[in-house]
Chain A
Amino acid sequence: MTSSSTRSINATAVAGLSLWVGVMVFISHWMGEQAHRWLPVQASTAAPLVDDLFSFETAIGTFVFLGVVSVMVWVMLFNRAEKYDDTDAFPIEGNTRLEVIWTAIPFVLVMGIAFWTIRASEQLGTLGPMEHIHLRNSVEEVGGYPGDRLPAEQVEVIARQWSWEFRYPGSNVSSTELHLAVNEPVTFRLVSEDVLHGFYIPAFRVKQDVIPGRAIDFNVTPTREGVYRLRDSQFSGTWFAANQSDVVVESAEEHQAWLEQAARSPLQPGLSLAISEYATRQARSNPGWATVPPAHPPQVNVPGSPSQPHQA
């Protein structure tokens, strides 16, 4: 890196650098495309927004990472001290212009990403105002639905240690399996009876903590039929990992039929893996470290099946 480089060497360097930047751009673009494949199927209106943002960030991130690693590899290959050479290198103490550049570019870059993100968040509008239980607004006031559609359905979600209960007040149905109609906006009212839980459906790309003492309204529009997992995402105690449920997205007709059939079904204990595991555990002579006993499973019309195959 001496200053006595000739014009031709400079030209080669510029050409080589441009080529390498081109390669990095190509790889970054390719990684951005790949990023979609690392995510579960897109089953809600939120999913494409999240995925596009993630893909964009992956591309940018790949470019930055490759850039840094290229420099590191270059210096490790070509700027090594010769054996027995213990002299110092040419001292460069800094360069104010460079400092300004590498402060300004990341600043503009992250602010750009932030701007994109805020717009994406606005479009998502999954969240009603954060309300305490006494602040309940009527559904109309919550607002923020994609396409300005009012939700066709309200589902009350009750989280417990360790089961999920879904109530459909309009149809007088309760279930431990969540059934939703495709392309119909739905509002969840999230309530916890004991500790923090996390309402997380990966295929929908949505997650909201369920907080005791608050009712949180939460909007989603499923867009793809299938069976998906609902997972508890905020640690809730011993059977946290087993606190899962299925989300069945079906056509409007099927959904109506399911609601009608469910309303006729007798109440029975809902799905709760914790109950059976707890029973086996307590039967042992030494049950081990202390645990909170599971709450009684809710009495529901439809318990759902624990071994149903799911898509994400």
Chain B
Amino acid sequence: MTKTEWDILIASTCLKLLLFPAYRSTDFEVHRNWLAITHSLPISKWYYDTTSEWTLDYPPFFAYFEKLLSIPAYWVDPKIVDLNNLNYGAWSVIAYQRTTVILTELVLGAAVLRFVRGAENPTMQRIISASLFLHPGFLIVDHIHFQYNGFMFGILLWSILMARNDRKLASGLLFAVLLNFKHIYLYLAPAYFVYLLRSYCLSPTFTLLPGRFLSLANAVILVFLASLGPFLLMGQLPQLLSRLFPFTRGLNHAYWAPNVWALVTAVDRILLKVASRGQLSGLSVNASGVASTSRGLVGDTVFAVLPTVKPIHTFAITVAFQTIYMGKLWTNTSYKSFVTALTLCGFTSYMFGWHVHEKAILLVLVPLSLLAAEDNAYFRTFTIASIAGVYSLFPLLFTPAETLVKIIYSVLWAFFVLKPIHRQVYQFPRGILAVIVDILERLYLAGFPLLQLFVTLFPLVAGRRSTAQESASDNASQSENGVSASVSAMEFLPLMLTSVYCAVGLVWAFVRLSVIYLVRKD
């Protein structure tokens, strides 16, 4: 490692240490509970335990990983792994769990370091690697909110690196391992399947290479056996799968992830406003949809005006879009084509998936980063997707203390990543259409500071107004309803605006990347 690389590692670790006392979400307790489950219970009970509401719902490799982490945890403080010690928040458990995130993130660090070695353009790759290791997404989701994405994206990047270095068997193997850590990476599986089948198992003349095919198949099967085998033997597979794939959730997550459905939901809300004023008599209003809006943001979303979306619809749309990209990947199996297809696979799932979580945007941003310095078109897409995507993660940290932390870090990151790449690849837009698009994109990006200003100031102003209303009204029973409605609106409006604004940028980035990928011949 060079001195600069050590500098980055040491400095970033110090900064992450400062975040130990920061806000942590329920995911922190989720993972603590998993430490307790895997430490205290025999393996046969892991996927059955319901002591805490945060049951184990990750694949077995992650459970083994937690088992491994639970051993030192027991030495640090036995109360960490006590199953009934719910919501344990002592300093020992915070320091321990946060430390494990920092340490396991070194997998990501190692992977991006290896990307620099043997890169086509080491200067740019160095920036991209640093940008991935220091990504605000990881800072927000892992080091504050609390998850192990750095570790798992490290495995993903390692797998992509193997593909770049033409070691496709290792690439497939690592991806299989990754799937058994967290099944959300299934979103990316089609690209891996097509890519490995076409470029590894088939010869250029479409004849099957049985030796390669069998070795890949065996490797993948072995990985899955190592993961699921014990549960298969115990006959717990159905239970395990029901934990992994709960189909009982709504279309949108609590806060609308900024995808196509966020835009559709917003349109529905606007139409409802119009319809309730009686201006459009032709619209039929769904009563449960009206109730769904008044409930604000929690739970299932039922449209009031537009036709209701079912899981099968989202699934069909996702598959349809992915098929198009896979067709392109089938004809072009270069490394760059693979990474683009991988990104688009994740992007499609994010855009149209059922109950998408906003954190899933990392599935797009991480592989897309690898393409950032390809040329101006890719860079622009990367810029828009990164800024909108990172901003869309901001609502995860709703506590005022972390506001400056997330904003300043993201701004500094954006500056140090975007500025040098921009200089390297920038091209002046050619043609009137390109100029207009360029201006619109710039305007869109310039809107983010304004959005942040609104999100920050709105609760202050609205809060003062609602307390003023409260004190003004004498009738307590009346004001209670009014205040609670205005409070929920107060929380809801900035969130909805954030979601819709980010969705516009992300949908545009999605369209942009699709067009680039499908139109280009390279």
Q: Do A and B bind each other?
A: no
